[in-house]
Amino acid sequence: MFTRIAGRYDLMNSLMTGGRHHAWRRIAATAVAPAPPGLALDLATGTGDLALAVRAVRPAHAVVAADFSEAMLRHARLKLAARGERRVWLLAGDALALPFRPATFACVVSAFLLRNLADLASGLAEMRRVTVRGGLVAALEITRPGLAGWDALFGLYFNRLVPLIGALVARDRTAYTYLPQSVERFVTPAELSRCMTDAGLRDVRHRRLGLGTIALHVGTA
């Protein structure tokens, strides 16, 4: 599915969020800026936007950017080349079985990955495993805002309008029907905090962005 939409992924993100997804990625990158010196890992990098945001706030350190979809990585490679960015290293990989030794990374970040995992607990455990002691793990996710009136309006937009935009722009209504359905099935921000704690992360905290529709979680390994 992600391979099918790779060519229109950036455009759809901008249309769906009014361009705000870049700001959310910058906030996530800033959250891991205080991590110890060393490599960063961007999981489910897509076309590389979060990896670039991390490079901007940690210019002395390289970023490994991994994704399950080769098509997404091809678009990321073109974007990095156009910007002359040589310290983001792309890698095809499975978030449930990361090809890295324990304590490889100073920080691990992801944007809109977790609700797509077949096994959330295993994915979080892998993120914790590859992070150094005292390193940071941060995750951006879409969530329902949880406010009665606004929640209903967001649900109308997300469940009705987004699939229509996906059909017209990405020519893939199925992918953009899956998107709101995956959010409906996913845990709440409070539940995700508990899952991260259960995975061995400490001092887990979260904040809402995008009028409550985006949650940023950060924990310490």
pLDDT of 12 over the 90 cut: no
What are the CA-CA distances from residue 114 to residues 119, 140, 148, 192 (Å)? 9, 8, 25, 9
Predicted local confidence at residue 68, as pLDDT:
94
Quick one: pLDDT band at residue 185, thresholds 50, 70, 90?
Answer: very high
Core vs surface per residue 152-181: b (16+ CB within 10 A) or e: eebeeebeeebbebbeeebebeebbbebbe
Q: What pLDDT is attached to residue 127?
A: 98
Bigger pLDDT: 40 vs 9: 40
Per-residue pLDDT for 54 more than 90?
A: yes
Mean pLDDT (the chain) is 95
CA 88 to mean position of chain CA atoms: 16
Q: What is the pTM of this model?
A: 0.94
Res. 193: pLDDT tops 90: yes
pLDDT tens for each residue of 118-149: 999 999 999 999 999 999 999 999 999 988 88
**Average pLDDT of the segment spanning 164-184:** 88
Stretch 160-168: mean pLDDT: 88
Which is higher by pLDDT, 179 or 112? 112
Average pLDDT, stretch 27-52? 98
Specify whether domain 2-146+188-220 bears CATH 3.40.50.150. yes
Contact 190, 19 (CB under 8 A): no
What distance in Å separates the CA atoms of residue 212 and residue 142, rounded to the nearest whole number?
9
